[in-house]
Structure 1
Amino acid sequence: MVTLEKIAHLASDCQFDSFGSVGPLDPGSNINLEKLSILGEGTRHDVCASTYSPRKSPLPGICHAFTQDGRCVSLFKTLYTNHCSHQCNYCINSTNCSHRVQTFSYTPDELARVTLSLYRSNYIEGLFLSSGAGRNGDLIMEKMLETLERLRRRYGFSGYIHLKILPGSSQAHIKEAMELADRVSINLEAASSSQLDEICATKSYENDILKRQRYIRDLRGEENLPAGQTTQLVVGAAGESDQDILDRILYEYREIGVKRAYYSAFSPQKGTAFESRKGQPLWREHRLYQMDWLIRVYHFPPGDIKWAFDEEGFLFNSDPKLAIARELLDSPLDPNEAPYRDLIRVPGIGPRSAMRIVALRKTRRIAANRELEALGVVIKRATPFLKINGWRDATLKMWSG
């Protein structure tokens, strides 16, 4: 099991057969174990995957996330510095937080060596690097880019890198980040300019965030940034509705070309300006991910997804696809006749299984539920909405008031 002492030792003596020696740290320099802990723990609200392992990592900052294909990957998640000049009312690193922890910062070479040591020892597969803005955001961006440059070009690091771009970063810094990282992101934090003003008075929604996202969109080519750009929102900090959030995400996918959006339920932190505000339930975050999936993967149009919201624009704590199906499917569908756009609305039928149904019925009729199950349909969820040869196998109170 990896320990902080082991990481410190590895970072001080990076000598491995597969890469050769990169030499010792500067004379008299030691890895500060408290720094490793605080800067690693400082990324706990930065999301790199919609699913993660609940097991506790032996080192703060090592995150076990799951990809869409079910593979578990380990990333070293850390802040470059927890010093920040912004006044984000929900953040413990904000200048207006009365309960701030001790301030730490890495040097580019120090962070590069720690990352490389973890990578060469097979503890991680990549780096997720975020940061506070320090006293000067441009200077901190330069330091983070220097870290990535050392990893890639001096030490030959070939692992995955996700870099959080600081709000207001220059176009030149963003261009360099896109040449060094696999993925970059700028946190939206809120769904609108007015909501960001309530969360943080020191950031401009249009200039510091949206304009920088457009830089990434316009600079991206075929050779750089293979994993694209992402973004993240704090859910419920400014009283926004779920519909507000998803309207913004529709814009992000359509106009900005964001590959993924991540959601983090607001949790009040001691000493912050929002300490007394009500925290948001994790199920709200989960339902937003489900809706995001319907938008991004199932390609549900806005006219369909509107049925998942209540009158105030909030999601229920139930499967939103089920709520949509209850509104849009007037009667059970025959899988031998229903068009793809209707099949995809049925709970338990995804894009792949819908395409398989359409392909199979070109050669023969589907006669039983077991044939649908063989095509990947989740029968228990789907059969209340289906009929085969005029027969239904299940009932559901979905067309009654």
Structure 2
Amino acid sequence: MFDIKWIRENPQAFDAALARRGAEAASARLIALDDARRAHIARLQEAQERRNAASKEIGKAKAMKDEAAAQALIDEVAKIKSMIQEGEEEERRLNEALDQALCVIPNLPLADVPDGSDETGNVVHHVHGDKPQLPFINKPKEHFELGEALGTMDFATAAKLSGSRFVLLKGQLARLERALGQFMIDLHTTEHGYMEVSPPLLVSGTALYGTGQLPKFEEDLFRAGDSHYLIPTAEVPLTNMVADEILGEEALPLRVTALTHCFRSEAGSAGRDTRGMLRQHQFQKCELVSVTRPEDSAAELERMLGCAEAVLQKLGLHYRVMTLCTGDMGFGSQKTYDIEVWLPGQDTYREISSCSVCGDFQARRMNARFRPADAKGLRHVHTLNGSGVAVGRAMIAVMENYQNNDGTITVPEVLRPYMGGLERIG
């Protein structure tokens, strides 16, 4: 959400930033909506002033026993009162029209974000490690080939239960998934300073509006009843913890994490990644959320990226970090880093984490503010979110990178305490 006052003062900069995202210029349309709203509010204020003045004149007319003048003024006040009531309804309509126009406009990219229309414009930020050499394997298998051969990754039964884009994990792979999630949440809480939260998996439409999923991306959500949705990511409940709050500056930065199931309809991905676990309706993810002062958010993004990278480094996985271009960033992001892990079975990199800074874009939608210690007034906080990381995709990466020629999977050392000391899945 944007401050219409800032748009009025910077229309060319606003439109230029939208153009970088491939969006149409919007300042003229928004200012016109605001002009109509402001003009109507001015007329209402004039009417209210006249009503107040006429109300005082009624007393004077009655004191002078001028009943005709008093009645005329009473009739005028009644007429103005009715007009104000209708005008207040129109004011609400005009406010809503402006809000609806503002809330579907994507966030503006920071100056250092590379320009581009799609993922081909993304830029390699850095690469960690080297691609693993698996000389003992003629052709590395994909995760679903490994899992199905082991009898512990069952897509057929999951489809019988729930339809496509679900999986049923059994035995040692079920434990591996649990081990990965526990490892991640322990790492972020004990070494990275995040507070663990166990949030609701059902949230209101207001919460989804606050983080930007509604109204623009409703088709990507699973609705539960009339008033709730299943969370597409724990970013939604974690970020909304500060909705309508005024924080003290000493409470910032606020860093929270949660290991939850997430639910996405994958409405725009028909035909993509239909085999295996890469794109599921239900999956687990360890989410990181930070709430900071505006001047700290850029540094916090780099810190958050480092926390997510640490997961892959401790797992011994090769990956690269991409700076997303303006055409590939998420709706609410000012700048995003994607971490792409190497999958030998696919012979390609796949996204396993996104870390984004949103500036005050979400905070304005949520009315989340803080009180500076050395200044008067309130300021909007900045919010950040990142995956630390997607559990299912981490399991895919472990399976494909640690596969053996006999179809077994070596358990990374960092996970063995969570696996009861198990060294190999077979």
Kindly indicate which of the two structures has a greater share of residues assigned to strand: 2
Q: TM-score normalised to the size of structure 1? A: 0.23
Whose relative contact order is higher, 1 or 2, with alpha carbons under 8 Å and at least 6 apart? 2
Q: Quick check: which has more Rg, 1 or 2? A: 2
Kindly indicate which of the two structures has a greater share of residues assigned to helix: 2
